[in-house]
Chains A and B, each alone.
Chain A
Amino acid sequence: MKIRSNDYFKLKILLLVFLTLALFFASFIIGRYTITMKTVIDIILAQFFDIPQYWDTTLNTVILQVRLPRIMLAIMIGGALSVAGASYQTLFKNPMVSPDILGVSAGAGFGAALAMINNSTWWEIQVVAFIFGIIAVTAAYLIAHMFGDSTITVLILAGIVVSSLFQALISIVKTLADTENELPSITFWLMGSLGKGTMNDVYMMLPTLIISLGMIYFFRNQINTLAVGEDEAITMGVNVPLVKMVVVVSSTLMTVAAVSICGIIGWVGLIVPHIARMITGANYSKIVVTSFLIGGAFLLIIDDIIRGVEGVELPLGVLTALVGTPVFVFLLSRVKKGWT
């Protein structure tokens, strides 16, 4: 009997949860300070229980204020981008769609660049990036509504238009930036990094992530029917305008929250949903869960590689592309039968 990708869903999810948890703990021992697994677990447990401290106090800072937020952000951001990608792919009935299809990354990138040439603080940069990300998607949505009955193709075209506009604006800001400090920091931001992540970022992102994921999970069966097309979904009794709105709003919020913390990270939102489909089948109701876990684990592994390489901080967005492209080619060879 052939084992199909749809079988043993609960078992697979359980295994993925264990994998992610194992990666979570293992990731603490990577970095310049050498720490044993036991110390890591004791430091974390010491937050909740009374454990006598036998380690150097600096390790508390390293584990709890440097590595913990970075690891948590990697999982949250990887998961968020992947769920957003899976949702857009289902909504647009297109396997080549990624979370920034409606211009969210370009918008946020422009916001961040604008803030950087105005000597803003890290916190202000995040807020401005967040706001411009939302503005970009809203603009794409409004343009799509102005022309035609906001069909899917028009929406994608509007996204491309808005993306190009903000890319052009980013280039203008870059030429205006001073080449000593501002231009390098803009360029670096656009390549993505988790290096500046703090616990504050975790606390900022968590509510957005929980609300967005909650909405998407609640409507997962309705979103699933969009895979056969909006018209057919309507005849099955689905409130398509509402469900479409849920997908766009939740995906945008998750993506913009991620991008404003870590800069632009490509490929994760595009390939992880395909890996998820390979493991638990095409059904959206299932891959919404699978994508989050795989996306979290995927980005965590990549960030671990970055932290493991001594001497230089490789840009995260570059490494995801470096790892993502061969994975994508592998996927193409595996699932070509499923795609048309």
Chain B
Amino acid sequence: MLTVEKLSFYYDPDRMILKNISFSLETQDILCLLGPNGTGKTTLLRCLLALNKMKSGRIEIDGYDLTKANIKKRAEMMAYVPQATVMAFPYEAREIVLMGRVTHLASGGRATKEDWKQVDEAMEKLGIRHMSRALFNEMSGGERQMILIARALVQQAKILVMDEPTANLDYSNQVKMLQVIKDLAEQGYSILMTSHFPDHAFLACNRAVLMRDGYIMSQGLPEDIVNTENLTKLYGTPVCVTEAKLNYQDRTIKVCVPVMN
């Protein structure tokens, strides 16, 4: 569905930020982009979203060259879920969600019943309909993150690009978020997310990309590539990938643990 080929980006030609990045994302895929801070994960997302202009390479969606698409067309194919921040003004949650409809509105026109219906449906789907009239700034981090996902859904793009959707969330909210991401993939969305938790690759993702210093170190199934050796190399510090046995369910899951000397 989404194909990225030999994408490169730099501010200064002597210091490449992204080097020959190639990967692809199929329908219903959940791709987890792992890597240390400052390795270019966010820059890669920004290149995909046309917030940074890539220097060379190709981005295609279903064979359609994305560099030829205007901003509106791109927004119809790809939606962005940023990390939640607070706003300068007291907006209601549903008004933030409605913003995702902006390019679907008639020029100079206002939101119709249909637009509001989609807002309600998206919030219903994520289980946050009861908060639609709450003030965005008064919500918790996890709730705000859900609102931003709802906003991406009403945009009606099939690819969701999420910048650390589980950052700053507690365990319960992390699990809730991963469950939502899995559900969305089952409904036909393709998801590209960055994360600082390699465990999440096992919990929710079917593809992992390990990025270091602007190039892709390894990519493939999480079971294959997220291992002690790769993670230790990726983060430059000892990381142990081991198995935890859940006694009450009689199954084992893989976990990643950083090791201190």
- CA separation between A89 and B86, bound complex, in Å? 16
The reply to whether B91 and A235 form a contact with Cβ atoms under 8 Å apart is no
A228 touches B87 (CB 8 A): yes
A226-244 contacts to B, CB under 8 A, are 227-228, 231-232, 234-239
- Chain A hits for B91, CB < 8 A: 227, 281-283
Asked if B74 CB lies within 8 Å of chain A CBs, one says: yes
- Asked if A277 and B155 sit within 8 Å, CB to CB, the answer is no
What string of 1s and 0s marks CB contacts (under 8 Å) between A204-246 and chain B? Answer: 0000000000000111011011011001101111110000000
Chain B contacts with A in 151-185, Cβ cutoff 8 A: 151, 155
Contacts of B111 in A (CB 8 A): 221
**A340 adjacent to chain B (CB < 8 Å):** yes
Q: In the bound complex, do residue A95 and residue B100 qualify as a contact, i.e. CB atoms below 8 Å apart? A: no
Bound CA–CA A277/B88 (angstroms): 12
Determine the interface band of chain A, counting residues with CB < 8 A from chain B: 20 to 34
**Neighbouring A residues of B80 by C-beta, 8 Å:** 232, 235-236
**Complex Cα–Cα for A254 and B133 (A):** 34
Closest to B52 in A: A231
Does A164 belong to the interface (CB within 8 Å)? no
Interface: A94 (CB within 8 A): yes
> Can you list, as one digit per residue, whether each of B125-148 has a CB less than 8 Å from chain A (1) or not (0)?
000000001010110000000000
- Whether the Cβ atoms of A237 and B82 lie closer than 8 Å is no
B90 at the binding interface (Cβ < 8 Å): yes
Distance between Cα atoms of A338 and B92 in the complex (Å): 11
- Residues of chain B contacted by A93 (CB below 8 angstroms): 87-88
Q: What is the distance, in angstroms, from B240's C-beta to the closest C-beta of chain A? A: 37
Q: Does residue B71 face the partner (Cβ distance < 8 Å to A)?
A: yes
Alpha-carbon distance A6/B98, docked complex (angstroms): 14
- Known contacts A228-B96, A282-B95; is-contact A222 B102 (Cβ 8 Å): yes
> Do A237 and B72 contact each other (CB < 8 Å), given the known contacts A222-B102, A282-B90, A338-B90?
yes
Question: CB-CB contacts of B65-103 with A at 8 A, as 1s and 0s?
Answer: 000000111111011101000111111100110011011
Given contacts A218-B108, A234-B51, contact A227 B102 (CB under 8 A): no
Residues of chain B within 8 A (CB-CB) of A239 are 71-72
B225 at the interface (CB under 8 A from A): no
**How many residues of B sit at the interface, in one of the four size bands?**
35 or more
Interface residues of A in 77-133 (CB under 8 A from B): 89-90, 93-95
Contact B90–A234 (Cβ < 8 Å): no
Tell whether, in the assembled complex, residue B71 and residue A234 are in contact, meaning their CB atoms are under 8 Å apart. Answer: yes
Q: Report A281-325 CB contacts with B as 1/0, cut-off 8 Å.
A: 111010000000000000000000000000000000000000000
Q: Is the CB of B108 within 8 A of A228?
A: no
Task: Select from chain A the residue with minimum beta-carbon distance to B48.
Answer: A235
Q: Are the CB atoms of B88 and A94 closer together than 8 Å?
A: yes
Measured in the bound complex, the distance between the Cα atoms of B135 and A194 in whole Å is: 40
A218 touches which one: B49, B87, B95, B107 (CB < 8 A)? B107
A38 at interface by CB-CB < 8 Å: no
Which of the residues A225, A236, A338 comes within 8 Å of B135, measured between beta carbons? A338
Q: Separation in Å of the B130 CB from the closest CB of chain A?
A: 15
Residue of chain A at shortest CB distance from B99 = A225
Q: How far is the CA of A88 from the CA of B157 in the complex (A)?
A: 30
- Interface membership of B203, Cβ < 8 A: no
Residues of A contacting B155 with CB < 8 Å? 236-237
What mask results when residues 318 to 340 of chain A are scored 1 for a CB within 8 Å of chain B, else 0? 00000000000000000101111
B50 interface residue (CB < 8 Å to A) = yes
B204 to chain A, nearest CB (A): 23
**A1 to chain B: closest CB distance in Å?**
11
A214 closest partner in B (C-beta): B108
Chain A residues lying within 8 Å of B105, measured Cβ to Cβ, are: 221
Expressed in whole angstroms, the minimum distance between the Cβ of B44 and any Cβ of chain A is: 14
> Chain B residues near A238 (CB, 8 Å)?
71, 102-103
Q: Is the CB of A95 within 8 A of B138?
A: no
A147–B96 Cα distance when bound, in Å, is 32
B110 at the interface (CB under 8 A from A): yes
Across the interface, do B82 and A232 meet the contact criterion of CB distance under 8 Å?
yes
- Are A340 and B137 within 8 A (Cβ)? yes
CA of A218 to CA of B106, assembled, Å: 10
Taking a contact as CB atoms closer than 8 A, the residue among B49, B88, B89 that contacts A234 in the complex is B49
Q: List 28 A-B contacts (CB under 8 A).
A: A4-B92, A6-B92, A6-B95, A93-B87, A93-B88, A94-B88, A217-B108, A219-B108, A221-B105, A221-B110, A224-B102, A227-B91, A228-B87, A232-B80, A235-B51, A235-B75, A236-B75, A236-B99, A237-B74, A237-B102, A237-B103, A239-B72, A277-B89, A277-B90, A283-B92, A335-B90, A338-B137, A340-B88
Known: A237-B73, A238-B71, A338-B135. 12 other contacts (CB 8 A): A6-B92, A6-B95, A217-B108, A228-B96, A231-B46, A234-B50, A235-B49, A237-B72, A277-B90, A281-B91, A338-B137, A340-B88
